[in-house]
Structure 1
Amino acid sequence: MDIELLLLLLALGSVVGVMAGLLGIGGGLIVVPALLYLLPKSGISVDITMQLALATSLATIIVTSGSSAINHLKLGNVDMFVVKWLMPGVVVGGFAGTYVAEWIPSQYLPKVFGVIVLCLALQMLLSIKSQAQKAMPSNVVTSLYGTGIGVISSLAGIGGGSLSVPFLSKHGVEMRKAVGSSSVCGFFIAISGMTGFILHGSKVAELPQYSVGYVYLPALTAIAATSMLTTRVGAKLATSLPTKALKKIFAVFLMFVAGTMLL
């Protein structure tokens, strides 16, 4: 890893940290595309770049979502009842997603997820004008939703904020608490997903040096080093910005990501 790549990864971590604190995302929607572009430039085979990007992204999310969750807990932005019933599903789904990734061609995943993200962005924009909200589903149904969020999140190397925040917001959870609760859930999605990718990667012989399974430690260290410092900035912004402004920011961000994945 040369100095230029290291500086790019440090800058990437700074952006990821702010987005994690502000929008409740673990940063995977930024990290995965960035690593897919950067890792081949450091001599890593393109045959395993997708797996490395997903696993390393989930590993960084442990740091960013963990740091973001702590900040939101201190600010009172976490709905513990919601977390209690989403948690079992997201953990199981996060681990199961790594097995699904073994047999789905990786080139199809960004396009499938891009369609989902686009739908979520449109739903978020429509909800700004609409005051109608649904009540939270039953505890079992909420856990099943969590399982789906976990599977898709693990397949895309994200913390699930792009899925859980719109879901919680639609069901009447105040935006700040939806963001904070998403950070907590994203932390556990990342742990279960990363564990699965480490187990699968341990069977692969042609991994780059300093890898633990599919987790590439140099990239993880560089991104985590700066993202930990900037999550508090995003968390403070999430507390001070009005709910409608947060929804607009989040929807625009999702549309950008969807366009990138589809193209």
Structure 2
Amino acid sequence: MIAVSVYILCGILSGFFSGLLGIGGGLVIVPLLIIVFEHTQQIPPHHIMHVVVATSLSASIFTSFSSAYAQTKHKCVLWDLVRVMSPFIILGTLIGAGLANFFSADFMRWILLVFLFCVATQIFFDISPKSSAKYFSPAAYRITAFIIGAFSSFVGLAGGSIFVPFLKYTTGDMHKAIGTSSALAWSLALAGGLGYLISGYSVADLPRTNLGYIHIQALLCIAFTSMLIAPLGVKLSHALPVQILKKIFALLLYASAMRTLITVLS
């Protein structure tokens, strides 16, 4: 029962921050799911990170779709960029998910740890490129999309924390960067979820309730609540003190990173 409550909390927080800040719910889902699976011992320790990453990406399919739909109503999605980048996001994510079987849970934790520290610092100090609307060739967008897709498949994030600064720099419009990021995150999450379903399908010591590496109960709880909350986050982004909320969120990420560090070192 406690686990289900945490899954629902994951959905509420991921939907809220995904809609509010455009950073994707994985930054909330991944640390919380790690804690749940470590304490409930539902998952063999050497598979915890793979299951967390797979479930987070699968849940982001629904969160990012809800956010992208809400952003479309505000005309903040640059669909030309989505069409250019999505195929290469999908390719990179599928390759990354397929390679994840060859890496240990501790290696994936180290990647997550470094990334959490970097993102927390970027959010807390509001470090981002100036809106300059630099010209990027389609090839540059495709290469960037492939790299983000491959990297995100290792940490269970739908790429929003990388997409938003990048798109702000190349488009010069923060609102459109957030909206377009939501649409791109959907492609990444869909490919990641599928990739981990396939790569985990033949793994023998996973629970029977799993679908590949995807934890079905956690996925359903997170997906349902996040889809309900994400549009509210989009709406409140124009009414709440976003800068203060960003700093609070960054402090939570620092705390998650420190806990991950302690786990790895122990």
Query: What interval of TM-score do these two structures reach, taking the shorter chain for normalisation?
Result: 0.7 to 0.9
Residue 7 (structure 1) aligns with? 5
Task: List aligned pairs for 1:1-263, cutoff 5 A.
Answer: 3-40=1-38, 41=40, 43-116=42-115, 118-119=117-118, 125=125, 131=130, 133=132, 135-240=134-239, 250=246, 253=249, 256-257=252-253, 260-261=256-257, 263=261
Deviation at 1:233, TM superposition (A): 1.0
Per the alignment, in what secondary structure is the counterpart of residue 162 of structure 1? helix
8 Å contact from structure 2 (residues 130, 168) kept in 1? no
- CA contact 1:118–1:254 (8 Å) conserved in 2: no
Structure 2 residue identity aligned to 1:171? T
Residue deviations 1:181-218 (CA, integer Å, cap 9, x gap): 11111111011111111111111111112211111111
CA distance in 1, matches of 2:105, 2:135: 34
Mapped contact 1:17–1:231 kept (Cα < 8 A): yes
* Pair 22,119 (structure 1): closer, same or farther in 2 beyond 3 Å: same
Give 5+ residue unaligned stretches, structure 1: none
What TM-score, normalized by structure 2, do the two folds share?
0.86
Contact 2:6 2:32 in 1 (8 A): no
Letter in 2 for 1:21: G
- How far residue 15 of structure 1 moved from its aligned partner, in angstroms, is 0.8
Answer whether contact 1:58 1:157 (CA < 8 A) is retained: yes
For the 8 Å contact 2:133–2:172, the answer to whether it is kept is no
- Paired with 1:198 and 1:210, the residues of 2 have a C-alpha distance of 13
**TM-superposition CA deviations, 1:206-253 (whole Å, max 9, x none):** 111221111111111111121111001111123456xxx757755764
Percent identity over the alignment is 31
Tell me how far apart the structure 2 counterparts of residues 96 and 194 of structure 1 sit (CA, whole Å): 12
Output the CA distance in 1 between the equivalents of 2:112 and 2:134: 26
Separation in structure 1 between the aligned mates of residue 85 and residue 254 of structure 2, nearest angstrom:
25
Change (3 A) 1:248 1:170: farther
CA distance in 1, matches of 2:34, 2:116: 19
Deviates more, 1:247-256 or 1:228-237: 247-256
Deviates more, 1:133-142 or 1:251-260: 251-260
CA-atom RMSD in angstroms: 2.5
